[in-house]
Chains A and B, each alone.
Chain A
Amino acid sequence: MNELINKVTKLLNDKTIDAFIGYGQGSTDRVRAIFARTVEQASKLIYTPACTFNLSGYLLKHEVKHLGKLGILANVAALRSIMQLASEFQIKDGEVYILFVNDDASLTEFSDFQSIEAFLEKANIDITPDEKARIEKIEAMSVSERWEFWNKEFEKCIKCYACRAACPMCYCHRCTTDVNQPQWIPVASHERGNLDYHLMRAMHLAGRCINCGECANACPMDIPLNLLTYQLIDPIKTGFGATAGMKADAVYALSTFKPDDKENFII
């Protein structure tokens, strides 16, 4: 932890960065994002096993960007977010100073996107066995059981859009939900409005989701939203050979094709 604080202090002092996005102590048993702009603030940086959430979404937040040159403490999910955002022209190489805490508490700094790509090649990017089991459990249901299951989940949704706000890939200034000519997605949080919203979001994240799970973590109503996008990861990988957030210059799986893409349902 000291190494991190020392490093960030140095970066701030020598003006390499103007602000550093890291973790700090939060309410009671929580950790939260902090934005160290001074040495004093940097001394509040912590790194504990609870520091698991993906900070990368802040890189595109208007007010955070205005703090100046940013540094960030990135975990694997954040690194993948950065790669994906780079492939969508939202972050440029060298724009952000990226630190990573290794298992032995030492720090890795990434000089460029290429080094992140090399790092990610060896990193564990899979969804957890628990998440996998939950997906399999749903897949094992009948069609109508699945409909019932999701209907029950979506019923709870209050359309607070915490999932969207927490997702690093949901950076559109004008989400489809906000488009009202035509009103593709009903604003109301009734069953239809909720189903439309969540399917739309899952579809828009298909091939872009880097399985950080922030959507589900953010949901105050405890809807397992992450499973919607997670279950598309495997088909996209096996079907199209694409995995999101691995390369800064990747072509999006759904804006390319192979003439021999396999399907078994088109007659």
Chain B
Amino acid sequence: MQDFEPKIVAFVCNWCTYAGADLTGTSRTKYAANVKIIRFPCTGRIDFMILMKAFENGADGIIVSGCHPNDCHYSTGNFHARRRWIVFRNLMNFTGIDTERILFSWVSAAEGFKWADVVNNTVAKIREMGPYENYNKIAVSTLLKEEVSNHE
């Protein structure tokens, strides 16, 4: 477990968190390289299925982040996203998907330091939790590697 480098995908909105992460860079604040960002126009655009795809393709952790309530560039996208997350998180929890591995946050364009904190804390936490074994068992890569089996 010592060498475990977690794979973490961050789904962020363009206007707040992406810009916030830009500010982290501009401020030269260091954070772990494990997190890679995928840019969305708005958290409202983030489909719950894309989170499932991330786990299926071997992500050990996920960060979803956007504008603080009332700050959405599109005025309400993050409110809709928040409802969706509340429900989806409930469903994940009920079906035994480890919600500890998905971090939801509001990081504004001004919160460069918060972004570094969010990343570092998440990486540390996932590192401690280890690889997402349960999901890895059914991941795409597993199917690709698997030997021909007789009975499913």
A–B direct touch, CB within 8 Å, in complex? yes
List A residues at the B interface (Cβ < 8 Å). Answer: 138-139, 141, 143-151, 176, 184-185, 190-192, 195-196, 199-200, 202-203, 206-207, 228, 231-232, 235-236, 239-240, 253-259, 261, 263, 265-267
Q: Is the CB of A267 within 8 A of B96?
A: no
Return the chain B residue nearest A264 by Cβ: B86
Considering the chains assembled together, what is the distance between the CA atoms of A150 and B76 in angstroms?
35
Nearest Cβ in chain B — how far from A138, in angstroms? Answer: 7
Which secondary structure dominates chain B's binding surface?
helix
**B29 an interface residue at 8 Å Cβ cutoff?**
no
Neighbour of A254 across the interface among B80, B92, B106, CB < 8 A: B80
Fill in one digit per residue for B83-95: 1 if any A CB lies within 8 Å of its CB, else 0.
Answer: 1111111111111
**Interchain CB contact under 8 A, B83 and A261:** yes
Indicate if the CB atoms of A267 and B56 lie closer than 8 Å.
no
Task: Give the contacting residue for B79; candidates A150, A176, A259; CB below 8 A.
Answer: A259
Closest Cβ of chain B to A70, distance in Å, is 33
Q: Answer yes or no: B152 CB below 8 A from chain A CBs.
A: yes
The minimal Cβ–Cβ distance linking B49 to chain A, given in whole angstroms, is: 5
**Contacting chain A: which of B3-11, B14-22, B132-140?**
B132-140
12 contacts across the A-B interface (CB closer than 8 A): A147-B95, A147-B97, A151-B138, A190-B143, A195-B138, A202-B91, A203-B91, A232-B87, A240-B83, A253-B83, A257-B82, A267-B105
B33 at the interface (CB under 8 A from A): no
Of the four ranges (under 10, 10 to 19, 20 to 34, 35 or more), the interface on chain B belongs to: 35 or more
Q: Inside 8 A of A151's CB, which chain B residues have their CB?
A: 96, 138
A139 to B104, CA, bound (A): 22
Kindly state the separation between the CA atoms of A207 and B138 in the bound complex, as whole angstroms: 29
A266 to B97, alpha carbons, bound, how many Å?
A: 17
A163 to B92, CA, bound (A): 20
Q: Give every chain A residue within 8 A of B130 (Cβ-Cβ).
A: none
Q: From B56, B83, B89, B99, give the contact of A257 (CB < 8 A).
A: B83
Given A147-B134, A190-B152, A192-B140: A139 touches B94 (CB 8 Å cut-off): yes
Is A228 within 8 A of B95, CB to CB? yes
A192 and B56 contact, Cβ closer than 8 Å, known pairs A200-B49, A265-B89, A266-B82:
yes
A147 CA to B106 CA, complexed, in Å? 29
Assess whether B128 is interfacial by the CB under 8 Å rule.
no
Closest to B103 in A: A267
Most buried by B among A143, A150, A207, A261: A143
Partner of B85, one of A143, A232, A266, A267: A266
B69 interfacial by beta-carbon distance below 8 Å: yes
Contact residue among B80, B86, B95 (Cβ-Cβ distance under 8 Å from A146): B95
> Which residues from chain B contact A200 at a C-beta distance below 8 Å?
49, 52
Most buried by B among A206, A228, A231: A206
CB neighbours of A253 from chain B (8 A): 83
B52 touches A196 (CB 8 A): yes
B96 and A145: CB pair below 8 A? yes
Q: Is B134 a contact partner of A235 (Cβ separation < 8 A)?
A: no
B80: nearest residue on chain A (CB-CB)?
A257
Residues in A with CB closer than 8 Å to B56 are 192, 196
Chain A: which residue is nearest B51 at the CB level?
A: A199
Write out the residue numbers on chain A whose beta carbons fall within 8 Å of the beta carbon of B59: none
Inside 8 A of A176's CB, which chain B residues have their CB? 49
Cα distance A149–B139 in the bound complex, in angstroms:
18
* Closest residue on chain B to residue A262 by CB atoms: B86
CA distance A145 to B134 in the complex (A): 11
CB atoms of B82 and A199 under 8 A apart: no
A261 contacts across to B, CB distance below 8 A: 79, 82-83, 86
B86 and A235 contacting across the interface, CB-CB below 8 Å: yes
Residues in A whose Cβ lies below 8 Å from that of B139: 192
Knowing A143-B93, A257-B79, say if A190 contacts B105 (CB, 8 Å): no
CA distance A196 to B95 in the complex (A): 11
**Is B116 in the interface zone, CB < 8 Å from A?**
no
